[in-house]
Amino acid sequence: MKEPKTPGAWKIKAGLSIVGKKGMRELNKASKNAVAAQEKRLRSTLETNKDTVYGKEHNFAGILKAKTAEELFDLYQKNVPINDYENLRPYVERHKHGEADVLFPGKPKMYATTSGTTSEPKWVPITQQYYDEVYNAMNRLWFYTLLKNKPKAFDGPAISIVGKAIEGTAPDGTVFGSISGVSQRDIPNFMKPIHTAPADVFHISDYKARYYAIMRMGIARDVHLIITANPSTLIEMQSNANEFYDDYVEDIEKGTISQKFDIPDNIRAALQEKITPNPARAQELRDLKAKYGTVLPKHYWPNMQVVNIWMCGNTNVYFQKIKDSFPETSVFHEFSYFSSECRAGVVLKSNTKDTVMFGHKVYFEFIPEEEIGKENPKILQLNEVEKGQRYSVVVTTSSGFYRYNMNDLVEVTGFYNKFPTISFIQKVNGIVSMTGEKLHERQFIEAVHAAEKETKKPVKFFVGFADVGNSIYHFYYEFADQNTTHAEAEEFTRLVDKHMMEQNVEYESKRSSHRVLDPKTYLLKPESFETFKAKCIDLGYRDGQFKLNLLMQDEKRQKMFKELVK
């Protein structure tokens, strides 16, 4: 299938080229002097916020009297502590209840809500300044990079998976929701025709119905671009396609949306407005199934140009499962290192994982890996980090997050002029330690992959949990071969255990002394991850925010996986 170019494709390319080139000129100029860029960024943030409650409490006006960049950075460290969200929560709560000028002048444009370390979610304030100079500016440059890497990326339609733009309001009436949803909502009008489905689709509460609607609208078109943060979402999309392929074909042929699915009438009507019967496409899809049996994205979207997802950290496990399902001519573009709290930069080239840190938009500090967890860790500036070294990132944003510890371990992969490029490794809390073994999630992942090679038994999904009370690890596997016996799975665990001991001397020591007992093995039912994720979405997680560490200490989640054991 090759449908005509998206109406106004030339406008999209022209518009993105204009704003993208402007953003690149700004980046190129700023990145030639990291110290000057960081000084300018920090001074601007302190000047804007010096008369706020937080600014007065932490002497922003006094810090600004610094004569040099080095003195400014030093005074900032001395006056402002490193924060986590719980340190800032009382200030955010004051904003939520209507108070202005607490963390920043006035009140926020919105809140992005996300899961926190406690039972209470994080309410991340997004100021208008931050939205304009970070999200808007970086989004334009990001789209420009997609165009630059694949000039035909916007010639056809796109599927973009985001959260609800507006989910509710804070006590003072300020809206909260998904920043990705708001960003999509606010794209220029000339770009809106590229989307296969209206934003209404993300308001379908039933998980399976939502994916059916997304895929029913998408598979009818010659999609050129997919944007979704988590590659596990691509797995969900393909699973839906496997299960309901014949329903898609019938709907596409008739111009309908199956009544099997719980889609509210108003949303169904909004979707129906974009649908017309397409018997030719329906027949094409029938022919694909007759030819291939299991029809993959590379079959029904042969002109795919770009798949924009996360590929770093533990998301790489899911990426490896889906990457071969797309055309060889398409490219994968790393979503870049960012979260609700901070968008740190943009990946400029496809098929790499290197985020260029935007030192002219965010003030950064770095805690070397060996200093993490110390009471007074060594702090480095943007110009002091080294290629090949790993750090925990501390950010200061124009949304009131001052010296905020992202709790993320990143590796410096190189430099763009004087700005470092980084790749996300794992959450710092991806390190589990029951008796001092400090077992890294990545060590567990590498051990499982090593066991796969030795046994020739591929694993579709796996996850591990630390049982601190009994000093034992529980390993759950869904093998590709569902006939794998428990005895074979236990032998697999023995190899995983062996490889973890080889990688981690502390783990080897604790295992040898029986301070950590032999790990336990569990066999999972088919589609265990998909079932788990669906339950989490039903409990209120957003698709884009859904993240699952593959090694953790979490009794609630372990209980959910125990229910999926054969």
pLDDT in tens, 236-258: 899 899 999 999 999 999 999 99
CA distance 461 to 561: 12
CA distances (Å), 309 to each of 117, 159, 182, 548, in order?
Answer: 25, 12, 18, 16
The C-alpha atoms of residue 278 and residue 222 are separated, in whole angstroms, by: 13
Q: Is 10 left (phi over 0), alpha (psi -120 to 50) or beta?
A: alpha
226 near 154, Cβ under 8 Å? no
Task: Examine the pLDDT at 117 and tell me if it is beyond 60.
Answer: no
Tens of pLDDT along 520-555?
Answer: 999 999 999 888 988 887 776 666 556 778 998 888
**What number is the average pLDDT over the span 282-293?**
97
pLDDT interval class at 438 (50, 70, 90): confident
Looking only at the bridges linking them, the beta strands covering 459-467 and 551-552 are parallel
Q: Which residues contact 517 (CB under 8 A, 6 or more apart)?
A: 470, 471, 472
3-state helix, strand, coil in the chain (%, to 5): 45, 20, 35
Q: What is the DSSP letter of 369?
A: G
Burial class (CB in 10 A: 0-12, 13-18, 19+), 448: buried
Secondary structure letter of residue 132 according to DSSP: I
Contact assessment for residue 509 and residue 537, using Cβ atoms and an 8 Å cutoff: no
Q: What contacts 25, CB < 8 A, 6 or more positions away?
A: none
Query: What is the rounded CA–CA span in Å between residue 204 and residue 263?
Result: 6
Whether residue 430 has pLDDT greater than 80: no
In contact, 181 and 199? CB cutoff 8 Å: yes
Integer distance in angstroms from the first to the last C-alpha of the chain?
A: 42
Q: In this predicted structure, which of 59-68, 241-250, 315-324, 475-484 has the lowest mean pLDDT?
A: 315-324
Q: Which of 229, 122, 112 shows the shortest CA–CA distance to 182?
A: 112
Can you give the pLDDT at residue 28? 98
Number of H helices and E strands in the chain, helices first, is: 20, 21
Residue range 131-174, pLDDT digits in tens: 998 888 898 899 999 999 999 999 999 999 988 888 899 999 99
Structural tokens at position 5: 């170019």
Name the strand (E) or helix (H) holding 144: helix 137-149
* DSSP bridge pairs for 309: 334
What amino acid occupies position 229?
Answer: A
Give the pLDDT confidence score for residue 118 in this predicted structure.
46
Grouping H, G, I as helix, E, B as strand and the rest as coil, residue 114 is strand
Instruction: List beta partners, residue 427.
Output: 408
Count CA atoms closer than 13 A to 427's CA, side-chain side: 13
Among candidates 294, 296, 293, which has minimal Cα distance to 307? 296
- Tell me the residue ranges of DSSP E strands in 178-227: 225-227
At 311-321, the pLDDT tens digits run 987 788 788 88
Q: Which of 181-195, 448-462, 496-510 has the lowest mean pLDDT?
A: 181-195
Read off the tokens for 399. 């949304």
- Whether the per-residue pLDDT at 426 is higher than 90: the answer is no
Closest CA to 448 of 408, 411, 489, 486: 489
Whether 497 and 454 have beta carbons less than 8 Å apart is answered as no
Task: Tell me, yes or no, if the pTM score tops 0.85.
Answer: no
State the DSSP H helix or E strand holding residue 318, giving kind and residue range, or none if neither: helix 315-322
For 445, the enclosing helix (H) or strand (E) is helix 441-455
**DSSP structural state of residue 275:** -
